[in-house]
Every structure is written in C-alpha cells, then in structure tokens.
Chain A
Amino acid sequence: MSKTILEIKGLKVYYYTRDGVVRAVDNVDFFMKKGETIGLVGESGSGKSTLGFSIIKLIPPPGKIVDGKIVFDGIDLIKLNEKEMRKIRGKRISMVFQDPMTSLNPLMKIGDHLVETIMAHEEVTREEAEERAFALLKEVGIMPDRFHDYPHQFSGGMRQRVMIALALALNPDIVIADEPTSSLDVIVQFQILDLMKRLKEQFNVGMIFISHDISVVAEVSDKIALMYAGQIVEFADAISFFEKHLHPYAELLLQSVPNIQLSDQKLKYIPGMPPDLLHPPSGCRFHPRCPFANSICKEKEPPLIEIEKGHLVKCFRHK
C-alpha cells in the first residue's frame, strides 16, 4: 500500500459574485495515493475544475477557499503563502489545461517554455536546462529540431504534448489535467491519452484527470470521483464504479453515454437541469432530478459513507 500524497478535507470554495455566493465546491473530502490516477467526472458547472484549481490555489477571483484542508505530502497548502506556494506549483504539483491553443505564450519559443520552467525551480545552467528540455520533447514525441519553433507553428495535439512535457518537466508528484483532451479530435485524443498513460507509469506521477467525458476517464483512471453540484457523490475504484455504481446519478450518467453499438437510436439524457449553485436544492442536491427521491432526500443531506472498502457514496438508498 503506497502512502497518501494528497488529502482534502471539508473543502469549501465559494465564488462571491454580485448575485450572491456560488458554492462551487461544497464540503468535499477526497484523498489520493502516490502514483494513482483519479478521474474527476461531472457535468459542466459541477465544480470539478474549481476543485482542480483550488489544489494549486489558483482560483480565479472572486473565488475563495472558505474552509477545509488540502494536505499535500504532510503540508497544509491552505496555510502556505504565495511565495511558498509558487515553489510547489510546477515543481511538485503541475497542471495541464483544457485548451492547448491558448495555453502557450505566442511569442516564446517552444523550447524556451521548458527551459524557463526548469530554470525557475532549479539551480541549473541554461545548457543543462536545454539538454533536459530536448529530452522531454523527445519523450512526448516532438522532434528536437522543433525546439526553436513558435507555438503557432504547432497543431493542437502537438501543443498539448508540449503542455504535458511542461507539466512533467520537474518530476512532480501530481499532475492535474483539466479536460486535457476535450478540445482535440478523437484520434489525437486517443494519442494524447495513450501518451499520458505511458508517461504516468514512467514518471510514477499521480494524476487528477478532470473530464466531463466518462468514457475518456474510464480509459485512464484507477479511481473515479463523481461530482454533482459541488459535491463528490460517489468515489470508488474504476472497476467497481463501472460494475456496480451506487448513486442514481452515476446510473443515469452512464446510461446517457452515446453508444454506437446500440440499436436503440434514442439519445438518453438526465431529465431536469443541473442545479443553480446560487440556490442549491435543500437536502440531497440531486433529489429534484432523482427518480428514487423521497421525503427524506428533500430534508436531509445524505452523508458520504463507505459501503464497501474504498467505495463511498452519498445517498440514502445505501446504508
């Protein structure tokens, strides 16, 4: 059993907007072992990206971490100041973004992105940093002769490879990948997922893979955390999640994945709308859309309880 590298307890991240307080992440508990890949799944607006960004404390204003603990390798990140946090970012926890087309500086050479990152964190000469940058580019499948090219000379898939190289440049413990393949076409998506899986093994890095696409998450994850309206509603091993998901939302979500092998052509979806996080529903947040909802679901919020070893669910149907 490897040790726990990241533990989040009672995390609350709120956005203080003009219209009121948006509870984007509300009381989330979450843990991750070294080298593990966790798939964080949810609809748009379920708070999964906010959760990802809050781990490196880069929540865009007016967002704020209101309460909770983010313990990374024994350090509570919430207590760190900006300067100490900067040493963690990139070096120990790094990030891959959704849109590779805009996440590189258009006026900086590809290789310089890597060199800058390495030199910002480590006391190395430029030559050493360049050598490592060359090796990294090779590792993600980019010819070293593209080192001096600018981002606009790269395709989306290649830029995402560069972003992955950047994220891995300093051998971090955790990479947070925020929808890294969502803006790529299916073939490239497959290549990038493959690359990430391979490098994850090679570098023994833990990964938080954020996506709305449950089939992509299934591809890479060891564990699945399902988010709904700012809360984790189910947390389990990938295999046990797909075999016997317990939360009604998980059930409906998996049913609504389009499948070309089915003769049934009707597109399934979950009735109702995701809740407005300015005014979340009382009790269980899923109850307005839940086919099994009864009176207790409206009144009380179900706790996240462990049904089997390592399989947690937030629903009154399972006790």
Chain B
Amino acid sequence: MSPSSLKLKLFNFVKKASPTRGVEYLLTWIGFSIVALIIFSAIFAPYVAPYDPTKRVGDLLESPNTRFIMGTDGLGRDIFSRVIWGSRTVLYITFLSIAITLICGIPLGLLAGYVGGAVDSILSLIMDAMYAFPGLILAIAIAAALGPSEITVAIAIAVIYIPTYFRMVRGQVLSLRESLFVEAARAIGAKDRTIIFKYIFPNVITSIPIVLSLNAADAVLTEAALSFLGLGPIVPPTPDWGFDLRMGQVYLAAKIWWPSTFPGLMIVLLTLGFSLLGEGISEILNPRLRR
C-alpha cells in the first residue's frame, strides 16, 4: 500500500467515523485516539510531565489536588509525571517484543509453509508445544531465567506470540502455495525466492496488522503483569505502570487509592486502545466485514 493511498484511506475512515456511521467506527476512532495520545505523551514526556518522575517533589501520599493532579506516591513523587514517563517503558517493551515476534514468527511461518515436509513438521511441533503453555506462565519462566532487563522481558513476551504468527503465516502460505497464480509463476519459470517474496509474502502481510494490534494489547498486559510480579524490565526508580501498581497497592487497605488506581487505569486504557484499534484495522482492511 502506498503512503498516499493509506492517507486517503485514513482520511475516508476519519470521515466515516462519525457517530451516525455506527458504533464500530466511533469505537475504532476512540481506540486510535487513545493509542495516539499515549504515544504522543511518551515521545514528548519531558514537556508533558510537570515534574521529574524520580525525584521527591511534594509531601508523601498527597491526595489529588491542583499541584499534583493524580496525587503523590509513598516517596512523594508526582504520580502524573510517573504515569507519563511510565508509558515510555511499556510502549518500548511492547514494540520491541512485537518486532522480535515479527522477525521470528513470519520467516519461520513462510519457511514451514513453503518448504513443508520434515521442516514443517518439526517447526509446527515446537510451535504447538509453545502454544500449549499458558502465555503468562511461559513469560514468567523465561523472564525469571534470563534475568530482568528490557531485552529479556521483550523476548519473554515475544515468545508467547511467535506461535500465533507462525500458525497464521504458515496456514496462509499453505493455501497460497497451491493457488493458481503461484502455479502460473512456476509455469513461467520463476525461482523459489521470487515466488516467496513477490507472490506469497505480499499476500500474507495484509492480514498481519490486525493480529499485531490485538497482540500489542495483550503485550501491554503481560508487561504490566511481569512488572507487578517484580520480573519487569526496569530498575527502580525508573517509572513503570506495573511496578507502580504493585508499590501502590499496599496503601489500598488504608483507603489511599490514588497510587495504584492511576497506573492501573493507564494499563486498562492502553490495552483498550490497542484492542479497539485492532478491530478497526480489520474493518478498514477487510471490506467483507463492512456492512
């Protein structure tokens, strides 16, 4: 898809996304706004956040007020600033893990689907075994084994989703491999490399953005869960939503709700944003789903 046609599609999409066009469009538009806003604030965190997120700037556990709109935490740091800076951590881990997933999952799926035979059997077996594990448990095991750092957490999360992409790509390659236009390409003497990269791959990638966005939603949750369990990517005092949620929850018994609620809400919000966006992309890309 060329950039201009993408822009056009986006433009039409925005035009369509008025409430009269149905709830789905509105929800997609909301999803896009949420994700865009969070990405924007992550990029411009130094300008958006009013205080240094790692320094004490007020009293301990101040309830939300005009100076600290989300209050302060147990160390007197501004929760709003921590939430803004924390989006950097979660987005970074999310995108890194998705990049790793794509780099591993897609080529393996292409290979297994196209070559078939023993390669396919072995790869499918491994992937099915990985798929059989509960995702979070697998991530915890890997994160614990590799130790806490950004790249290891990203790998731990990526491992959960590689089988999804592998299966999806492999399945499509299997059907595309038998399609008439691939047959026709062989009949005019095209090389395997040409067939994979010019005939099969472009027809596979169109379905990836949908799954990608939905996986991003899941990755946000997994990252938060790992941080919550103390297996997160960061070293305190770097802000991270999952970690802050854990630090804040001890105060809940004392009815001090703000240190845990705001990071928790952000996790929910970003997850929701990615989910709505994913549904929306599948609507844009798949005209058959349109009413």
Question: Is the CB–CB distance between A103 and B184 below 8 Å?
Answer: yes
Residue of B189, B191, B199, B202 with most partner-chain A CB within 10 A? B189
Chain B residue with Cβ nearest A93: B187
Check A116/B198 contact, CB under 8 A, given A95-B184, A102-B179, A103-B184: yes
Q: Please state if A105 and B180 are interface contacts (CB–CB under 8 Å).
A: no
Shortest CB-to-CB span from B117 to chain A, Å, is 11
CB contact under 8 A between A163 and B191, given known A102-B179, A107-B202, A108-B199:
no
> Nearest Cβ in chain B — how far from A91, in angstroms?
6
Interface status of B289 (Cβ within 8 A of chain A):
no
- Beta-carbon nearest neighbor of A167 in chain B: B188
Q: Which residues of chain B are near A56, meaning CB under 8 Å? A: 187
- Most chain-A Cβ atoms within 10 A of its Cβ — which of B178, B181, B203? B181
Complex: A104 Cα to B199 Cα, angstroms: 9
Tell me, yes or no, whether A97 is within 8 Å of chain B by CB.
yes
Pick from A88, A99, A103, A106: contact of B189, CB under 8 Å: A88
Given contacts A107-B202, A107-B203, contact A89 B181 (CB under 8 A): no
**Cβ A89 vs Cβ B179 within 8 A:** no
- Taking a contact as CB atoms under 8 Å apart, the answer to whether B188 and A120 are in contact is yes
Is A86 an interface residue, CB under 8 A from the partner? yes
Shortest CB-to-CB span from B143 to chain A, Å, is: 39
Count, chain B residues at interface, CB 8 A: 19
B189 touches A104 (CB 8 A): no
Q: Which of B165-183 contact A (CB under 8 A)?
A: 178-181, 183
Residues of A in contact (CB 8 Å), total: 28
Which residue of chain A has its CB nearest to the CB of B206? A107
B190 in the interface (beta carbon within 8 A): yes
A180 to chain B, nearest CB (A): 12
User: Which of A89, A99, A106 is within 8 Å of B186, CB to CB?
Assistant: A89
The CA of A169 and the CA of B198, in the complex, are separated in Å by 19
Q: Which of A46-93 contact B (CB under 8 A)?
A: 56, 58, 60, 86-91
| Chain B: CB-nearest residue to A118 | B188
User: Is the pair B190, A105 in contact by a Cβ cutoff of 8 Å?
Assistant: no
Taking CB atoms and an 8 Å cut-off, the chain B residues in 186-220 that contact chain A are: 186-191, 194, 198-199, 202-203, 206
Pairwise interchain contact B187-A90, C-beta atoms closer than 8 A: yes
Task: Let me know if A117 is at the binding interface, CB within 8 A.
Answer: yes
Given contacts A86-B191, A103-B184, 15 further A-B contacts (CB under 8 A): A56-B187, A58-B183, A60-B178, A86-B189, A89-B188, A94-B188, A97-B183, A105-B203, A107-B206, A108-B199, A116-B194, A117-B188, A120-B188, A120-B189, A166-B188
Interface residues of A (CB under 8 A from B): 56, 58, 60, 86-91, 94-95, 97, 99, 102-108, 116-117, 120-121, 163, 166-167, 169
19 cross-chain CB contacts under 8 A: A58-B183, A86-B189, A86-B190, A87-B189, A89-B186, A90-B188, A90-B189, A90-B190, A91-B189, A95-B184, A97-B180, A97-B187, A99-B180, A116-B190, A116-B194, A117-B190, A120-B188, A120-B194, A163-B184
